[in-house]
């Protein structure tokens, strides 16, 4: 079944007469049961919920995972769960440009003596592979947040496997429609389902997918003990969002590609990062790895200082200045407003999450602000 059909057909109730078309929201804290517990029993709502299960099944189909996904209360909760697989005293290899929550969490655990962090330029395959010596986990983002760098994911996964290193790929930006890391040998995939998966900026939720049932069972047991679980209504909202994932991503990618071309040509713009541009350093690699497009996020460095970038944001009327990404509305943010963002990210860099509005309205809004900068 093709992915744009899976998003609509997956996670539905059985095809029986008078069955509901959509899975229900199951609101319960416990389940009836007597006798000895069976591993398949639901038992208690911290272990599982039928509404989660529908979401977990469809996400597994999209990522082509051999077992259901695991749902978490947020993307960072999912990231936290995966990072606990790094043993105490172990080593995590982390891209220098990553989601700032991942970076902050990893360095916090390093400061507490839990594990050591080795920071790498994930686009440098040779240097990253060398950094895997004696490591326990390789963390991959591709495209990276917010610099949109492209890693050679298949090559890095092979190098990690040869050295006995677990690999986790944060696939939030690409979504399983464009990239399926388990298929090239990654051990784990993590999503902030808050973003493209749910797609409407009204849910906090995360997910992890595993290459083996054994790895999933390990994380499932941990989730059951630690309780980083979503509510059933959040899972239902996320599944509802999945239904339109393909059409939302198709629309937003087409708009992002057009906006990136126009931004690159504007005199007020110093630099544009978008893997779909032929001029982008990661374009060739992205074209080889991503299937069907280049994503819906653009990073822009305008001429001028931080104050100029902030003025641009203040005057926008269609774009919303806010953090996050992947929703139907277009968001824009100066990323260095977050103190945990690496200093290698330009202070005036703007990250644009392109939504599904009309491209001309989005461009007219941006152009007015950029024209004002160019006139100063």
DSSP state of 173: T
Chain centroid to CA 206: 9
**Rounded Cα–Cα distance for residues 208 and 59 (Å):** 10
User: Given the DSSP bridges, would you call strands 350-353 and 331-334 parallel, antiparallel or unpaired?
Assistant: antiparallel
Classify residue 32 as left (phi > 0), alpha (psi -120 to 50) or beta.
beta
Catalytic residue among 3, 72, 99, 274: 99
Q: Is 195 a catalytic residue?
A: yes
Helix (H, G, I), strand (E, B) or coil at 120: strand
Catalytic residue among 57, 136, 152, 170: 170
Q: Is 44 a catalytic residue?
A: no
DSSP state of 267: T
Catalytic residue among 12, 42, 46, 261: 46
Rounded to 10°, the helix 359-375/245-265 angle is 30
Query: Token match 């990654």: residue?
Result: 186
Q: Is 118 a catalytic residue?
A: no
Chain centroid to CA 360: 27
Listed residue (341, 305, 335, 301) closest to 321, CA to CA: 335
Give the tokens for residue 246: 């393909």
Catalytic residue among 195, 251, 336, 351: 195
Beta strands in 25-157 (DSSP E): 70-72, 90-95, 115-120, 137-141
- H or E element in which residue 299 lies: strand 297-302
Q: Is 170 a catalytic residue?
A: yes
Answer for the pair 207, 78: CB distance below 8 angstroms, yes or no.
Answer: yes
Cβ burial of 285 (10 Å; 0-12, 13-18, 19+) is buried
DSSP state of 243: T
- Those residues with Cβ within 8 angstroms of residue 253's Cβ, 6 or more apart along the chain or in another chain: 276, 293, 294, 295, 296, 354
Question: What Rg, from alpha-carbon coordinates, does the chain have?
Answer: 21
- Those residues with Cβ within 8 angstroms of residue 326's Cβ, 6 or more apart along the chain or in another chain: 172, 194, 195, 196, 197, 198, 199, 296, 353
Which residue numbers are catalytic? 46, 99, 170, 195
């Amino acid at each position: 079944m093709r992915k744009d059909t899976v998003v609509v057909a997956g996670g539905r109730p059985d095809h029986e007469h008078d069955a509901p078309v959509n899975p229900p929201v199951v609101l319960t804290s416990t389940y009836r049961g007597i006798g000895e517990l069976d591993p398949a029993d639901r038992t208690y709502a911290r272990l599982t919920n039928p509404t989660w299960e529908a979401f977990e099944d469809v996400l597994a189909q999209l990522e082509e995972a051999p077992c259901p996904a695991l749902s978490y209360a947020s993307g960072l909760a999912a990231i936290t769960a995966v990072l606990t697989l790094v043993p105490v005293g172990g080593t995590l290899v982390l891209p220098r440009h990553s989601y700032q929550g991942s970076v902050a969490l990893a360095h916090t655990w390093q400061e507490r003596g839990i594990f050591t962090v080795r920071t790498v330029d994930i686009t440098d395959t040779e240097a990253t592979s060398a950094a895997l010596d004696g490591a326990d986990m390789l963390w991959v983002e591709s495209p990276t947040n917010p610099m949109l760098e492209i890693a050679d994911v298949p090559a890095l996964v092979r190098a990690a496997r040869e050295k006995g290193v677990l690999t986790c790929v944060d696939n939030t930006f690409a979504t399983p429609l464009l990239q399926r890391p388990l298929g090239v040998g990654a051990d784990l995939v993590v999503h902030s389902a808050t973003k493209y998966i749910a797609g409407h900026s009204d849910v906090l939720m995360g997910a992890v997918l595993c290459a083996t049932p054994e790895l999933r069972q390990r994380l499932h047991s941990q989730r059951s003990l630690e309780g980083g679980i979503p509510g059933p209504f959040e899972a239902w909202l996320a599944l509802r969002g999945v239904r339109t994932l393909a059409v939302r991503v198709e629309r937003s990618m087409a708009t992002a590609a057009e906006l990136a071309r126009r931004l690159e040509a504007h005199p007020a713009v110093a630099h544009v990062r978008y893997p779909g541009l032929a001029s982008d350093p990661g374009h060739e690699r992205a074209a080889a790895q991503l299937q069907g497009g280049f994503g819906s996020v653009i990073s822009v460095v305008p001429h001028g200082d931080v104050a100029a970038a902030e003025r641009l944001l203040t005057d926008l009327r269609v774009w919303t200045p806010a953090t996050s990404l992947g929703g139907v509305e277009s968001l824009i943010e100066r990323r260095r407003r977050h103190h945990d963002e690496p200093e290698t990210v330009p202070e005036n860099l703007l990250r644009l999450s392109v939504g599904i509005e009309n491209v001309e309205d989005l461009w007219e809004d941006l152009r007015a602000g950029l024209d004002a900068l160019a006139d100063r």
